[in-house]
Structure 1
Amino acid sequence: MDGHRIRVGTASWTDPSLIQCKRFYPPGCTSAEGRLRYYADKFPLVEVDSSYYALPSARNAHAWVERTPDDFAFNLKAFRLFTGHQTPAKALPKDVQQALAGHFAVKKNLYYKDTPAEIRDLLWHRFENAVRPLREAGKLRALHFQFAPWVTRSARAQDHILECQRRLAGYHLAVEFRHRSWFEGDAAGDTLAFERAHDLTHVVVDEPQGFENSIPTVWAVTSPKLAILRLHGRNAATWNIGGEAASDRFNYDYSDAELGALVAPLRETASLAGETHAIFNNNYGDQGQRNAATLQALLDGA
Structure 2
Amino acid sequence: MGEIRVGACSWTDKELLASGWYPKGRRDAEGRLRHYASRFPLVEVDATYYALPSTRNSELWVARTPAGFRFDVKAFSLLTGHPTRSAAMPADLRPALARKDDPELLDEVWARFAGALEPLRRADRLGTLLFQFPPWLAPDEQSRALLRACRERTAGWPVAVEFRHPDWWRPELAAATSGLLTELGTPAVAVDTAQGLPTSVPPVAPVTSPDLAVVRLHGRSRAWGTGSKEDRFRHDYTPGELAPWVERVHAMAERTREVHVLFNNCCADAAVRAAGTMAGLLGLDPRPDPDPAEDRAEDRVEELTLDLGLDLDG
Same fold by TM (over 0.5)?
A: yes
Counterpart residue number, 2:58: 61
Q: Are residues 1:145 and 2:143 paired?
A: no
Equivalent residues, number: 285
Aligned equivalents of 1:70, 1:78: Cα separation in 2:
23
Residue from 75, 78, 82 that aligns with 2:79: 82
Counterpart residue number, 2:288: none
Report the alpha carbon displacement of residue 262 of structure 1 after superposing the two structures with TM: 2.1
Counterpart residue number, 1:107: none
CA contact (8 A) 1:238 1:251 kept: no
Counterpart residue number, 2:109: 123
Structure 2 unaligned segments of length 5 or more: list them.
286-314
Q: In structure 2, what residue type is equivalent to 1:160?
A: L
Aligned equivalents of 1:275, 1:256: Cα separation in 2:
23
Change (3 A) 1:239 1:156: closer
Aligned equivalents of 1:253, 1:132: Cα separation in 2:
35
Counterpart residue number, 2:2: 4
Aligned equivalents of 2:180, 2:60: Cα separation in 1:
36
Aligned equivalents of 1:70, 1:253: Cα separation in 2:
31
Q: Are residues 1:283 and 2:266 paired?
A: yes
Q: Deviations over 1:39-95 (max 9, x none)?
A: 000000001100000111111111111110101011100001111111121111122
Matches within 5 A, 1:1-302: 4-22=2-20, 24-97=21-94, 99-100=95-96, 103=98, 112-113=100-101, 116-242=102-228, 246-300=229-283
Q: In structure 1, what residue type is equivalent to 2:28?
A: S
TM-score (normalised: structure 1): 0.90
Q: In structure 2, what residue type is equivalent to 1:194?
A: L
CA contact (8 A) 1:37 1:68 kept: yes
Change (3 A) 1:130 1:280: same
Bigger CA drift: 128-137 or 178-187? 178-187
Q: Deviations over 1:109-136 (max 9, x none)?
A: x7x42xx343222211101101111111
Partner secondary structure for residue 266 of structure 1: helix
Bigger CA drift: 175-184 or 4-13? 175-184
Report the alpha carbon displacement of residue 169 of structure 1 after superposing the two structures with TM: 1.7
Aligned-residue identity in percent: 43
Q: In structure 1, what residue type is equivalent to 2:264?
A: N
Report the alpha carbon displacement of residue 248 of structure 1 after superposing the two structures with TM: 3.6
Q: Deviations over 1:94-153 (max 9, x none)?
A: 2212x348x4xxxxxx7x42xx34322221110110111111111112110100011111
TM-score (normalised: structure 2): 0.86
CA contact (8 A) 2:221 2:231 kept: no
Q: Deviations over 1:159-214 (max 9, x none)?
A: 21222222122111100001122122421111011111111101111012234433
Partner secondary structure for residue 283 of structure 2: helix
Aligned equivalents of 1:301, 1:277: Cα separation in 2:
13
Q: In structure 2, what residue type is equivalent to 1:290?
A: R
Report the alpha carbon displacement of residue 33 of structure 1 after superposing the two structures with TM: 0.9
Partner secondary structure for residue 87 of structure 1: coil
Q: Deviations over 1:238-283 (max 9, x none)?
A: 54114xxx34420000012222332222111111110011100000
